[in-house]
Structure 1
Amino acid sequence: MTSTQRWPEQGWALLQILLVVSFSQAEEPVCRRRGDPENPQLFKDGDIMLGGIFSFHSSWKDREDTYMHKPLLLQCTSLNFRGFQFAQAMLFAIEEINNSTDLLPGITLGYKMYDACGSIATGVRVALALANGNEVVSGPSEAPCTRPAQVQAIMGETSSSPCMAIATVIGPFHIPLVSHFATCACLSDKTKYPSFLRTIPSDLYQSRALAHLVKHFGWTWVGAIRTNDDYGNNGMATFTETAQQLGICLEYSISFFRTDPPDKIQKMVDIIKASTSKVIVAFLSHMDMDVLIHELSQHNLTGYQWVGSEGWIFDSQTAEMDRHHILDGAIGLSIPKAHVSGMREFMLNVKPLNSTSKELFTEFWETLFSCKFKQSKSSTGNQRKCTGHEDVSGVQNSYTDMSLMPIFNNVYKGVYAVAHALHNILNCNETCNNTVQLDPFTILEHIKKIQFKTKEGDEVYFNEYGDPAAKYEIINWQPTENGIVDFVTVGLHDASLPVDKQLNLQNKSLIWAQNSQQVPLSVCSEKCPPGTRKVLQKGKPVCCYDCLRCAEGEISNITDSITCVRCEPEFWSNERRDACVKKEAEFLSYEEIMGALLTAASLFGTCMTAAVAFIFFRYRQTPIVRANNSELSFLLLFSLTLCFLCSLTFIGRPSEWSCMLRHTAFGITFVLCISCVLGKTIVVLMAFRATLPGSNMMKWFGPVQQKLSVLGFTLIQVIICILWLSISPPFPFKNFKEFKDKIILECALGSPVGFWAVLGYIGLLAMLCFILAFLARKLPDNFNEAKFITFSMLIFCAVWITFIPAYVSSPGKFSVAVEIFAILASSFGLLICIFIPKCYIILLKPEKNTKKNMMGKGVPKSS
């Protein structure tokens, strides 16, 4: 909570402390009290004394010090019913303990309660009064400045900043200071505040809880207002740190104090007006919130969603001041509701005439009932006279309002914590040991270790930082029909649970700003949908960004993704870029048109070859068949059949066996085919030479030699293929580089040397065959087929020469199609050029298929 510190009175307090220190260091044998005596506002004697510091007044009269004479004490004004309630809660606990036979039997607790007046300096001064007392101690034979403390523990103060100052001053004396409402996380530092304890959780937990609450509702763009003191500054610092970790950005963060000049508060209002965020996190005390509401009401600044700290979120007095419904729908954290049986009745049973502190109770009674016990001459006569017997329960104001019962319970628990520590120190059973010498340090150590339950079942203990367990209720301001705000508990927050389970919202309907049922939206930029990524806007916070579509092959499948993830090689992004879909596998299949046409061409060539073989077999005894080495012809037809069929191994999904088979079968069958053609060419040349006088060349190239030559040429290719398959065979390969959105299923060559060796050997035989056929091209037509072989080899070489660049440049399945086309074209070229003319003569010109015709004009003349 906050305080109303001002520099002049702070300086005066510091001056007083320095005077005390300087005089105590003098060699004067007498210990004298310096300064004016401090008399408690509430006092009762007892065996053990407890101190209390509460702000019975909330402000003081302004004054101008000339520093020509000693400044007077602050003149407190504005009676604070809240401070009076806290004091009554302490009185109730003390009376209950004194009347108990179980706790501190035979021991009575007394008290001294002072008014801090909302001032840090006054709080420090009365704390020193509680420690020292007002008695004058003198005498050179005495140890004047080492007397026991006047009180064994101090209850209070309500705000964080006064507690920090008081704890700093009394800390060296180890006097326990137990606060009921000072929540600054800084007070958990035991090196600075060793004697400070509290019955309210530290703001460390509240600030984190507020950040998680904001994140829960998706608010990433918020404004922040805090009280300019230790409570607000420390609490907001923790909130900001946690908010940044959760991805929440603050559009602005403003600090102010209720005594700030009007122009500063106006500037704060202007910042709120100019902002785009619709959620405001307010870490304020209820007194600062009252000032802020008044200012916002003048500008009619409604429609903002307020998120509040416990300092004001469940304060009914703040709700009463919000006549313009600025805070309707506010949500925030509060101390869990509590009930202390008998406390409400005790507070309402106030009798000023029976009180020993007549001055304070008189002022309280006159303020509560707007009356006067003594009418002054200057009074207008409209103010009625107090009787002292008015009915407190019939008044509706902040004193009779018990909405702060959780804080009253904290005062109650603090008194009981001290009482239990005293009970343990005095070894109380049926009676207590009165001979035990009490000292604040021992009491402090026992308070840190106590653990008990109140009569209502609340467990009380302190952790190593002097803090209780952090549990909060989530409160929602829900206005009713009669204009009264209903503080509805809509959830719980328990910091002792795991992080993901701490926030627990109940299934209750929430009311938001302007009585809306919809959760308000407060973001700098709309969420980036799946398929996009966030790109920060230059010079703006991380919550302000643009949404860019993911590139091809990348996706984002979550909202507000900061990066796009590249798909695995076998996958590709869909059109929306929010999922990776499996790439289409592309290969030359039988189902597509190109594959079907090539398959049909292959089968047609096979059937055509079979038909030619059938014709040759049917007319195998005719001269034209016999004249051209029928065995080589049939072997050539067989090899051509294999050539047509091997093209089918190139169609379909590549596999290990198909990749190895397609290239080796192609290489071997084509070598067998070319070897047969080469043998036929040599036969033609040898036959021509054999007709010349004295030539015996045919005996060196007879049928056996022809078969051996074909076998030898083919065997070389078989050896090349075996070496290729043994060292680095072809294998199925997924090509991801050719196309971005497709997978090309192809056969990798394995060893390129093996592949080009196979092709090179075929080309070598083809060139040799072409050269020999070219040399025999002018031989008589009727006797040889050199012209047809030459023409077929010309087609063969042309096809395979054009194949190489076409194969290298064709993408994907088209390279396979080019290879199949080259196989089929060269096969059809051989079949048509060599065998179709013979079939024509056999079937359509049988008169030419005679020995006489074959031996006629085609026989060369001898010279």
Structure 2
Amino acid sequence: MAVIAGIPSEFLVQAGALLELYRTPQLDFSWISTYHLLDIFHGTLFFSHQNSEIPGFKHFLRTVTPSKYPEDLFLTKYWLYTFSCSLAGTVCGEIHECPPNASLESVTEHKIDTTVMKSTNDLYNAVHLVAHALHDMVLIGEETSSQMAAEHPALLPWQLHPFIKNAHLESSAGEHVSLNENRNCVSRYDIMNFLNFPAGLRLPMKVGEFIPQGLRGQSLMIQEELIEWAFGFTETPHSVCSKSCGPGFMKITQDWKPICCFDCISCPEGEIANQTDSDTCMECPQNEYPNMERNRCLPKMVSFLAHDDPLGMALACTALGFSVITAVVLWVFVKHRDSPIVKANNRALSYVLLLSLLLCFLCSLLFIGRPNTVTCILRQITFGVVFTVAVSAVLAKTITVILAFKALTPGRTMRWLLLSGAPNAVVPICSLIQLIICGVWLGTSPPFVDTDTHSEPRHIIIVCNKGSVPAFYCVLGFLGFLALGTFFLAYQARNLPDTFNEAKFLTFSMLVFCSVWVTFLPVYHSSQGKVMVAVEIFSILASSVGLLGCIFAPKCYVIVLYPERNIKRVKE
């Protein structure tokens, strides 16, 4: 039994028969003038298998004759073209018969150059691959071969699919043959440039190489200076009718025109294109932003309301300045604690209010600097509790003024409430309610450090996320409820006798306080990034200054500059 490359000949016959099922009619070029045909393909590029020289194939071509294969019509036509003769009885007419010793060995080299016919290597490998698959299939199904023969007298192509997919072999040409996941033959290719010379001389020249599956994926190498293009071309032919789109632009096809015609438009804001002729633009990662040319992404700078920032420095200096002023006012009130004006306006509540205002100014410093988990929690909780103490102290002072006026009328209830210090209980009660709200806030969804990558295109802003937004607005809502209640009571007591004229100052201070925080809400929601933090700090400082100035500035004015008025009021 004849064996080719270790495969029995009957398997090669069956493989050839199966491949015949996929054959399509081929064009017959045997009667066309070679010179004119090859002149058309001058300068073209084509792929050719590397190391595709089939051992013994050239010798076979030099020794083959139509008499050995009388059923091969193509060989008969080729013989007629090459020697201008035919075998006896094949062609009628004036064409003479070929001599018995006619052979392709005497034909010029270029007419049988196998590099022109390297596509035969595909058929060569395909036959061997199918033959190996047939061999494996028969070996595996040897026990049920009789049943298979009864059910399927002829092998069907689909039965070979799993065997061909896993087949691996080394052809007699030394080439490893296998199929990839796309059922394509894994190979390396030479890129050849077809050259045609007068008198039918033709020469394929290697100008590059293509590796479909290399270590780094597909790779294509071409030496453009070696390429000889078709007649009439003085430079590399262009495959498009539009100029290439550079980096930073993407292609948009033109309506009613071929796909090779397109317009170049700049990438949208926030996206880049780092390649030539990009079909789409891609977004930069969240921690990067596109450059002006929109062809690459640059890292964003980390930003927050820092102490060395001009805005942060101005707010910090303002907070420290008013803290010092508040401390001085507190010292004045402590020094003149026995003066009539201090006693008349509830000395204990004045101390509580001044201390809470001092803490209000200082708590604004927690909003400046790089946020962390501790400062994010402290800034909101401290702000809510301290301002609650301050507003509730103003509320207690307002109630004290009203009770003092009511105590002048007959009746013991109002006088007892005033002498027992009941208004002072408003401060701990309101503070306790606010502490409960803050405790629920911390227990459910406390504030945490977050990053804002959208407010400023070139910066990553580190901010404090408030966690539970409803809890934050509950804190503000409770403060607003206290402020409005205090303003309403103070407004009702504004026309009391001059001896109790603090009610007018309380009314005006709460009017400033409420105005600041009503303005704060829309401005706060319309700002972004570190400006939002600055707005909150400004609201804290402005409302605290309103309370300090409206309530204590007139008293300090009298105590320091006009002490005789203080004494006169005591005599009265």
TM class, shorter-length: 0.5 to 0.7
Match of 2:295 in 1: 578
Equivalent residue for 1:602, pick from 319, 328, 332 = 319
Match of 1:307 in 2: 45
Structure 2 letter corresponding to 1:190:
A
Structure with the largest fraction of helix: 2
Residues 535 and 629 of structure 1: CA distance in aligned 2, closer, same or farther (over 3 Å)? same
What is the CA distance between 1:695 and its match in structure 2? 5.3
- Does the Cα contact within 8 Å between 2:45 and 2:194 map onto a contact in 1? no
2 CA distance for matches of 1:596 and 1:606?
15
Equivalent residue for 2:263, pick from 546, 555, 562 = 546
Residues 550 and 702 of structure 1: CA distance in aligned 2, closer, same or farther (over 3 Å)? same
Q: How does 1:378-777 map to 2 (within 5 A)?
A: 399=107, 401=109, 404=112, 406=114, 510-513=226-229, 520-524=236-240, 525-539=242-256, 542-583=259-300, 587-691=304-408, 697-702=414-419, 705-735=422-452, 745-777=462-494
Equivalent residue for 1:816, pick from 508, 533, 536 = 533
Residues 789 and 405 of structure 1: CA distance in aligned 2, closer, same or farther (over 3 Å)? closer
What is the CA distance between 1:827 and its match in structure 2? 0.9
What is the CA distance between 1:672 and its match in structure 2? 0.6
2 CA distance for matches of 1:192 and 1:400?
33
Residues 289 and 554 of structure 1: CA distance in aligned 2, closer, same or farther (over 3 Å)? farther
2 CA distance for matches of 1:408 and 1:740?
60
**What TM-score comes out, normalization by structure 1 length?**
0.45
Match of 1:827 in 2: 544
Matched, 1:806 2:523: yes
**What TM-score comes out, normalization by structure 2 length?**
0.65
Q: How does 1:239-258 map to 2 (within 5 A)?
A: none
1 CA distance for matches of 2:302 and 2:512?
35
2 CA distance for matches of 1:657 and 1:593?
24
What is the CA distance between 1:551 and its match in structure 2? 1.6
- Give deviations 1:90-124, integer Å, cap 9, x for gaps: xxxxxxxxxxxxxx9xxxxxxxxxxxxxxxxxxxx
What is the CA distance between 1:819 and its match in structure 2? 2.7
What is the CA distance between 1:832 and its match in structure 2? 0.9
Q: How does 1:17-28 map to 2 (within 5 A)?
A: none
- Does the Cα contact within 8 Å between 2:46 and 2:191 map onto a contact in 1? no
Equivalent residue for 1:291, pick from 26, 30, 36 = 36
What is the CA distance between 1:669 and its match in structure 2? 0.9
Larger radius of gyration: 1
What is the CA distance between 1:567 and its match in structure 2? 3.5
- Does the Cα contact within 8 Å between 2:47 and 2:189 map onto a contact in 1? no
SS at match of 2:274: coil
2 CA distance for matches of 1:175 and 1:755?
86
SS at match of 2:45: strand
- Does the Cα contact within 8 Å between 1:654 and 1:746 map onto a contact in 2? yes
- Does the Cα contact within 8 Å between 1:338 and 1:409 map onto a contact in 2? no
What is the CA distance between 1:828 and its match in structure 2? 0.7
What is the CA distance between 1:617 and its match in structure 2? 2.3
SS at match of 2:498: coil
1 CA distance for matches of 2:271 and 2:253?
19
Match of 2:569 in 1: 854
Aligned residues: 472
- Does the Cα contact within 8 Å between 1:675 and 1:709 map onto a contact in 2? yes
Residues 757 and 512 of structure 1: CA distance in aligned 2, closer, same or farther (over 3 Å)? same
Match of 2:96 in 1: none
1 CA distance for matches of 2:424 and 2:116?
117
- Give deviations 1:351-406, integer Å, cap 9, x for gaps: xxxxxxxxxxxx99x99xxxxxxxxxxxxxxxxxxxxxxxxxxxxxx945578465
Q: How does 1:124-273 map to 2 (within 5 A)?
A: 190-191=17-18, 193=20, 230-231=25-26
2 CA distance for matches of 1:190 and 1:735?
69
Residues 293 and 840 of structure 1: CA distance in aligned 2, closer, same or farther (over 3 Å)? same
- Does the Cα contact within 8 Å between 2:51 and 2:175 map onto a contact in 1? no
2 CA distance for matches of 1:785 and 1:794?
14
Match of 1:842 in 2: 559
2 CA distance for matches of 1:334 and 1:569?
50
2 CA distance for matches of 1:461 and 1:664?
74
- Give deviations 1:176-202, integer Å, cap 9, x for gaps: 999xxxxxxxx98524759xxxxxxx9
1 CA distance for matches of 2:10 and 2:410?
142
What is the CA distance between 1:782 and its match in structure 2? 4.7
Unmatched runs of 5 consecutive residues or more in structure 1? 1-103, 105-173, 179-186, 195-201, 205-228, 234-256, 260-286, 297-301, 311-331, 347-362, 368-397, 415-450, 464-468
- Give deviations 1:775-821, integer Å, cap 9, x for gaps: 33333435552222222122222222333333333444444333322
1 CA distance for matches of 2:396 and 2:170?
113
Equivalent residue for 2:503, pick from 786, 798, 815 = 786
- Does the Cα contact within 8 Å between 1:536 and 1:545 map onto a contact in 2? yes
1 CA distance for matches of 2:553 and 2:177?
109
- Give deviations 1:124-153, integer Å, cap 9, x for gaps: xxxxxxxxxxxxxxxxxxxxxxxxxxxxxx
What is the CA distance between 1:712 and its match in structure 2? 1.7
2 CA distance for matches of 1:461 and 1:490?
24
Residues 706 and 337 of structure 1: CA distance in aligned 2, closer, same or farther (over 3 Å)? same
What is the CA distance between 1:641 and its match in structure 2? 0.6
Residues 472 and 795 of structure 1: CA distance in aligned 2, closer, same or farther (over 3 Å)? closer
Residues 602 and 500 of structure 1: CA distance in aligned 2, closer, same or farther (over 3 Å)? closer
Match of 1:253 in 2: none
**Aligned alpha-carbon RMSD (Å):** 5.4
What is the CA distance between 1:610 and its match in structure 2? 0.8
Residues 513 and 721 of structure 1: CA distance in aligned 2, closer, same or farther (over 3 Å)? same
SS at match of 1:663: helix
1 CA distance for matches of 2:43 and 2:116?
29
What is the CA distance between 1:727 and its match in structure 2? 2.5
